[in-house]
Amino acid sequence: MLKINDINVFYGAIHAIKGASLEVNEGEIVTLIGANGAGKSTILRTISGLLKPKGGSIEFEGRDIAGLPAHEIVKCGISQVPEGRRIFAEMTVLENLELGAFTRKDKDGIKEDMEMVFNRFPRLKERISQLAGTLSGGEQQMLAMGRALMSRPRLLLLDEPSMGLAPLLIKEIFAIIQDINKAGTTVLLVEQNANMALSIAHRAYVLETGRITLSGDAKELAASEDVRKAYLGG
């Protein structure tokens, strides 16, 4: 479904991604794990069109999307939940969700998806008119995920959904990610919480200072001595 081949990404003179390749197959949850500053968010931002790669290619469903503007990439069927949620604090829950559907014109479909989001996140329905900035951290994560789902993506990019959340809420959010995947959405999940990410992913990649150093079946990586030492606290 998504094929990234040998991309390089720079911030000015800083060479953040050094020839990375990875693949996500339809139906999978794939996780990209790695330490602070390894370049995980940079890869997601490059897929979603916020950064342009130098060289290499990014193919989505057979089409080269590298360098397309971000709104075109949303139209292709890819939606990102950014790190730190980035919800619109001064707007209501409903307005945030409506904005997630900005590329669509099918009113009936949008209504259907709004219902789907409220079924998945009943707490958002209870708070439909509340200003998003007054939601709790977990509710804001739910809103950011709901907003991304409103574009009806086939590939959902999640950047550190566990950030700043209590363990119980992390469990809840990860269970929802699994449900979304089971309902047919493919997921690329970036996480520092490697334990949780590997527990729900089918496959995983390890990123170290801009390079993919390991990849494979998530259960096998979780059991590997190197990964345990470096990312799973022994």
In what order do the strands lie in the sheet containing 29-33?
78-81, 155-159, 186-191, 29-33, 203-208, 211-217
Nearer residue to ligand ATP within complex by CB, 208 or 226: 208
Near ligand ATP by CB under 6 A: residue from 37, 69, 122, 137: 37
Nearer residue to ligand ATP within complex by CB, 11 or 102: 11
* 83: amino acid identity, one letter: E
Helix then strand then coil, % of the chain, to nearest 5: 40, 25, 35
Tell me: does residue 192 bind ligand ATP (CB under 6 A): yes
Tell me: does residue 146 bind ligand ATP (CB under 6 A): no
Helix (H) or strand (E) holding 176: helix 167-182
Site for ligand ATP in 69-88 (CB under 6 A): 83
Stretch that binds ligand ATP, among 9-17, 52-60, 84-92, 164-172 (CB under 6 A): 9-17
Nearer residue to ligand ATP within complex by CB, 40 or 152: 40
Burial of residue 225 (CB within 10 Å: 0-12, 13-18, 19+) is exposed
Stretch that binds ligand ATP, among 39-47, 73-81, 108-116, 164-172 (CB under 6 A): 39-47
- Three-class SS of residue 92? strand
Near ligand ATP by CB under 6 A: residue from 1, 24, 30, 41: 41
